[in-house]
Amino acid sequence: MADDMGSRDTRPPRVNPLHQIEIDDFRRDRLLAALALLFGASFCLGLPFALQAGAEFFLPLTAAIVIAIALVPLLEWLERRGLPSALSAFLALATFLAIINAALAIIVVPATGWFARLPDSIPRIQSNLAPLIDFYSTLQRFVDRTLMSVASGTEATAQAVAATAPTSVVDYFISSAPAAAIQLFFAVLVIFFFLSGWTRLRKGTIRRRGSFDGAMQTARVIQNVVDATADYLATITMINAILGLTVSLLLWALGMPSPFMWGGIVSICNFVPYLGPIVAAVLLGLGGLMTFDAVGLALLPATIFIGVHMVEANLITPLVLGKRLTINPLLILVSLSFWGWVWGTPGALLAVPLLLILQTVLASTGTPDLAGFLFEHGTLTTTDEVRDRLNRTHEESDG
């Protein structure tokens, strides 16, 4: 009898089934969290190479989505006037294409003439740079070799371009790059169908949320992304257009040929922070060397642009954009480096809008629970939360 009592006393205590279920759930959540982090890290590491390899598809698709988001306010304005969604999308897209075609035609057509004049202008460039290069004989030999290679390599190309100068950006894409024409057509279709189905897509996304709070948060995120993207692109476009027009008028007063072409180049280059203005200054310096005989006068177009750009970058842009659309310069440099590496020059043009969209989404959903916003509940359960839940469940079962 005593042996039976001793054996009963040495038996392990009985485990609460509810407590064991909670422990199993905790282990499962931690395993799922580890797997999610592992797959997430693998996805982030492989995504840039996938985007780079599939640039022919992803680049026009991404550009089209960014442009479509920027055109949403115009689309909604037309729809509020009673126009159908399809007609509003067509009018918004047609307005955008007309503006882009006119702006690029101002640049592309005169630029072909400048490109054709480059071989003939090399002696003038050498003559203008001679007083500066005389101090550096090794640099002189390097410039001579470089200019001779440029002249021999571009003369035939310049003659071919001059023979068939395009009259619009559409002619340029069709005549010079059939693949680019296909990508342009694909991007136009994406923009149109995105805009025509925007209202239904937004309402459907909001209604699919499982709770009222989730629906309201989704609506707020969508509206914030549209507002931030459209405001930024509209404001930057206006600033760059004014900058280009100012530079064009100053170059016209200076006697620079094709001043509006140079103003358009300045406007487009200024869409790429930091690097774009440097490229514009170099091109203006080259154009001045091709046009004027005196080296001081030849460098004046680039000097004028640098002065106007300093006023715009340090006074006008911060004043107009304000703090709401201000982005960390370090993040801009990282975004420029990343998207420039992935997609080249088009990627650099898209770097800031994509960064702004990502920053707006994270600010609206709250970091780091982006997964919680997507699925309406968190997926990575912390240890403290699980311990508190286990304690509450255990206390309730004991009570």
Q: Do the beta carbons of residue 18 and residue 397 sit within 8 Å?
A: yes
SS3 11: coil
pLDDT of residue 13: 52
Q: What is the rounded CA–CA span in Å between residue 78 and residue 85?
A: 8
pLDDT of residue 67: 92
Distance of alpha carbon 236 from alpha carbon 214, whole angstroms? 33
Q: Which residues contact 254 (CB under 8 A, 6 or more apart)?
A: 300, 301, 304
Bond preceding residue 17 cis, omega within 30 of 0: no
pTM of the model: 0.69
Q: What is the sign of the dihedral through the CA atoms of 187, 193, 196 and 201?
A: negative
Give CA torsion, residues 55, 279, 258, 301, to 10 deg: 170
User: For the chain, what's the residue count?
Assistant: 399
pLDDT in tens for each of the 399 residues of the chain?
Answer: 445 555 555 555 554 555 555 565 666 666 666 677 777 778 778 888 888 888 888 888 999 999 999 999 999 899 888 889 899 999 999 999 998 888 877 877 777 777 666 666 666 666 665 565 554 555 455 545 655 655 554 444 444 444 444 554 455 555 555 667 788 888 889 999 999 988 888 888 778 777 777 778 778 888 888 888 888 888 898 999 999 999 999 999 988 888 898 898 899 888 888 888 998 998 898 888 888 877 778 889 999 999 999 998 888 888 887 666 677 788 888 888 888 888 888 888 888 899 888 888 877 766 555 555 554 444 444 445 555 655 665 565 555
Please report the pLDDT score of residue 8 as a whole number: 52
CB-based contacts of 130, cutoff 8 Å, min separation 6: none
Task: Tell me what pLDDT residue 93 has.
Answer: 92
Residue 115: is it exposed, middle or buried by C-beta count within 10 angstroms (0-12/13-18/19+)? middle
**What's the confidence (pLDDT) of residue 252?**
92
pLDDT value of residue 320 = 80
Q: Which residues of 138-164 are buried (b: 16+ CB within 10 A; e: fewer)?
A: eebeebeeebeeebeebeeebeebeee
CA dist., res. 144 & res. 156, Å (int): 20
Q: Which residues contact 233 (CB under 8 A, 6 or more apart)?
A: 70, 353
Left, alpha or beta for 177 (phi > 0: left; psi -120 to 50: alpha)?
A: beta
> Which amino acid, residue 181?
A
Residue with tokens 């969604």: 85
pLDDT at position 200: 87
Q: Spell out the domain ranges in the chain.
A: 52-129+177-366
**E strand residue ranges, 84-231:** none
Closest residue by Cα to residue 263 from 215, 305, 229: 305
